[in-house]
Structure 1
Amino acid sequence: MEDAYERTLLMKNECFVYALPPRTSNRGYRAADWGLDKPLWTGRLKISTFNGKLSIKLLDSEGNLFAEAPVPEYPGVAVESVTDSSRYFILRIINTEGKVAFIGAGFGDRGDAFDFNVTLQDHFKRVKTDEKIEQAPVNQPNLDLGLKAGQTFRINIGNSAGKSKPKTKTNPTGGLLLPPPPAAATSQTTSNDKSDWGEFSSASNDQWVQF
C-alpha cells in the first residue's frame, strides 16, 4: 500500500545550485566549469516520497519551493553525476507546467553528497524488492490436514504389544517378598539294620572279622 502522505527521506540544510554552461562534448559535465565560487542559488535540499513517487525538492530558508526534480529511477536521466567530482551532480527539474530544465547542484561537504547518493540507492533497492515480492507466485497448494467424515486414527502409547510387566509383591513392613527357593532334594536314609553300617554297628566287639 502506497503512502498517502509525504515522507521525508533526507534533509540537507545547504545545497548549491548552478546554471549549466553549454555542453562541449558527449563525455559529460565537469563541475569545475560551473564557477563553483559563484552559485546561482543556495538553500536546502529535501528528498521525499508521496504516493510511492520520489522527488528532490530545493527549498529556501522559509520552506518555499525553488525547484523540484521528480526521480523515477536511479541512476537515470533525472540525476546524473559529473565527471570530475563526487560532490556535484546534474538535476532535471520540471515545473508545474511540465517544462523541463537541467541545473547543476552540489554540496560543500562530501558527507552530505554521500548521504544523498545512499538515500537514492536504498529507496530504489526497496522498490525493486517490493516488486519482486508482489510478482512472486502465490499458487502454493493448501494442505488440508483435517479429518474427513468417518475417518479415525489410532495412537499407541507405551507398550504396543499389550504385555504387562510382572508385579512384585511387597512385604507389609516395606520389604520385598522374594519367591520361595525350589524344593531341596532330600536324601532318603533308612534305618534298615541290614545296611552295611548296620551290620557293623550290631556286631559285638568279639565278632570282628579276621583277615
Structure 2
Amino acid sequence: MDQLGEEIESVLYIAREVMVYQVPPLSTSSGHKAADWNVESFLWKGRMRVLEIGERCELRLEDANSGELFAQVRYARPWTQVEPVLDSSRYFVLRVEGDGGKKATIGMGFLERGDAFDFQVALQSFARRSSTPNQSQDPSAPLKPSAPPKDYSLKEGQTFTIKLPGRETKKPSSNPGPTSEGGSSGGLFALPPPPPPGRKR
C-alpha cells in the first residue's frame, strides 16, 4: 500500500497484459459487440491496475515496464464507466478520462476469461462496499435493525401456566381430610368429616 496524503492506496486487481481497441460508433441501441472491432489489431497493449484510493476506485492502464499512464478510468456510481460487450466475456468498453477532463470510449480485452472474471469480481466487491453505509463515517446515523425486536416480557396483570407431564397441580381443599383411597392426597374428591362422638345416625 502507498500512502497518498491522508488516503491509502490499495491494489484490488492487476492484469499483466490487456489490449486496447478503437471502438466504432454503436450500430444498435442494445450495446457494444467485440465482433464490430478489429480484435486482431489493437491500439495499445500493457498493464492494468484496479486501485482503491480512499473512497474512490480507479482503473489505470500503464506501460508494463515504465509505469507510464496511458489512460485512466474513475469507477463510481452509477457504475457505467465499465460495460461488458454483448458477445464475449473477455472484452469491455471503458469510458476513460484524459487531460483537461476530456473523455473518450475505448475497448479493452483480456487474453483469458479467468482474468476478465477476476476483474469483474474486483469491481463488484468495491461497488458492494461503497453501497453499504459505514457507521464509522457517520456516527450520528442510527443503526437500522433488519427487524424490530419482539417483546416477550409479561405485562402488568398477565399470567401464564406451564404444564409439566406428571406434575399436575392440585387445588388445596379448604377442609382437608382423608380421600376415597384412604390417603391424604391423590384422590379425586374429599370425604365429609366423621360425625361428632356420642351421636349415631
Once the 2 structures are TM-superposed, how far is the Cα of residue 35 of structure 1 from its aligned partner? 0.9
Residues 11 and 45 in structure 1, CA contact (< 8 A), matched pair in contact too? yes
Alignment counterpart, residue 96 of structure 1, candidates 60, 76, 99: 99
Q: CA RMSD in A?
A: 2.3
Runs in 1 of length 4+ with deviation above 3 angstroms?
Answer: 130-140
Amino acid at match of 1:116: F
SS in 2 for 1:21: coil
Alignment of 1:20 with 2:41, yes or no, is no
- 2:80 aligns with 77
Task: Please list the CA deviations of residues 108-133 of structure 1 after superposition, one character each: whole Å capped at 9, or x if unmatched.
Answer: 10000000000000111112224477
Q: Which protein is richer in strand relative to its size?
A: 2
Alignment of 1:68 with 2:72, yes or no, is yes
Once the 2 structures are TM-superposed, how far is the Cα of residue 24 of structure 1 from its aligned partner? 1.3
Amino acid at match of 1:77: T
Distance 1:132 1:23, change over 3 A: farther
SS in 1 for 2:127: helix
Structure 2, unaligned stretches of length 5 or more? Answer: 144-201
TM-score w.r.t. the length of structure 2 is 0.63
Once the 2 structures are TM-superposed, how far is the Cα of residue 80 of structure 1 from its aligned partner? 0.7
> Greater Rg, structure 1 or structure 2?
1
- 1:163 aligns with none
The separation in 1 between residues aligned to 2:135 and 2:91, in whole angstroms, is 32
The separation in 2 between residues aligned to 1:20 and 1:55, in whole angstroms, is 21
Alignment of 1:115 with 2:118, yes or no, is yes
Task: Please list the CA deviations of residues 140-199 of structure 1 after superposition, one character each: whole Å capped at 9, or x if unmatched.
Answer: 9xxxxxxxxxxxxxxxxxxxxxxxxxxxxxxxxxxxxxxxxxxxxxxxxxxxxxxxxxxx
Alignment of 1:36 with 2:39, yes or no, is yes
- 1:183 aligns with none
The separation in 2 between residues aligned to 1:4 and 1:33, in whole angstroms, is 40
- Give the fraction of aligned pairs with identical amino acids, expressed as a percent: 38
Residues 20 and 34 in structure 1, CA contact (< 8 A), matched pair in contact too? yes
The alignment covers a number of residue pairs equal to 138
Distance 1:104 1:132, change over 3 A: farther
Residues 3 and 50 in structure 1, CA contact (< 8 A), matched pair in contact too? no
Amino acid at match of 1:117: Q
The separation in 2 between residues aligned to 1:128 and 1:39, in whole angstroms, is 35
Distance 1:109 1:139, change over 3 A: closer
- 1:124 aligns with 127
Alignment of 1:106 with 2:92, yes or no, is no
Structure 1, unaligned stretches of length 5 or more? Answer: 141-211
Once the 2 structures are TM-superposed, how far is the Cα of residue 96 of structure 1 from its aligned partner? 2.7
Residues 135 and 141 in structure 2, CA contact (< 8 A), matched pair in contact too? no
